[in-house]
Copies of this chain bind each other. A is one copy, B any other.
Amino acid sequence: DEIREFARGVVESEIEKHAADGIGRVDYALANGGAAVVRHSEAYNVGRGNWYMLTSRNGVHPKANLMLNPSFGEPGQCFPLKGSSGFVQIRLRSEIIPEAITLEHVAKSVAYDRSSAPKDCRISGWLQGKNTDSLIDTENRFLLAEFRYDLEKSNAQTFNVLTSAGSGVIDTIRFDFTSNHGSPSHTCIYRLRVHGYQSDSVSMMAIEP
């Protein structure tokens, strides 16, 4: 009976986590929460000649925010970039002290091909503030994480922020990938999440939901 209770408990907590956007962790890069892709390397045109795929706002591809929103786990719900290296820059929902990054690709069991998954990755972050100029002093950027996305592990992989990053406040991150898992033509990003917390002073200034 004790075991039965235990089994039930494990099931309930795992399903609760799954039901809470997959991993049960706050995501400050969620597009529905106010985050947005603000810059990226050249998009890969998977297009089937659809003209609307070519329109964009400020050079940001209309499909870019697919990488900042959840999906059912089926193939195709990603943002494809040209080549095997590139970058994406994301304005977060609010200023936070970052703690971890989650990179997700389509699950092995339903994928047609996973050679487009990013491999060697590097995340940096900084406080852009109201500075609308996209350039910012490199000395103010933090290296948040460097990791390799591993095709043999679970498809959503979480990496803690380096202690060297201290506890600096950021509102923007840049995701650079320098290689992928074999595709010469493109690299697909299914979802990138940024976890952390708002410091007291920060959250006091941001009453809006």
B3/A109 in contact, CB under 8 A: no
CA distance A17 to B107 in the complex (A): 9
Would you list which residues of chain A between 6 and 24 have a CB under 8 Å from chain B?
6-8, 10-12, 14-22, 24
* A119 touches B (CB below 8 Å): no
B17/A109 in contact, CB under 8 A: yes
CA distance A188 to B209 in the complex (A): 10
Interface size class of A (residues with CB under 8 A): 35 or more
Closest to A12 in B: B14
Interface on chain A toward B: helix, strand, loop, or mixed SS?
loop
CA distance A77 to B107 in the complex (A): 24
* A135 touches B (CB below 8 Å): no
CA distance A19 to B14 in the complex (A): 12
CA distance A8 to B109 in the complex (A): 20
A110/B77 in contact, CB under 8 A: no
A19/B18 in contact, CB under 8 A: yes
B21/A74 in contact, CB under 8 A: yes
Q: Which residues of B contact A205 (CB under 8 A)?
A: none
* A76 touches B (CB below 8 Å): yes
Q: Which residues of B contact A7 (CB under 8 A)?
A: 3, 6-7, 10-11
A16/B76 in contact, CB under 8 A: no
Contact sample, A vs B, 12 pairs, CB 8 Å cutoff: A10-B11, A11-B14, A15-B15, A15-B18, A16-B107, A19-B73, A24-B109, A26-B112, A30-B74, A33-B75, A75-B209, A183-B209
A residues near B (Cβ < 8 Å) are: 3-4, 6-8, 10-12, 14-22, 24-27, 30, 32-34, 46, 69-77, 80, 93-94, 107, 109-113, 116, 154-155, 183, 185-186, 188, 203, 207-209
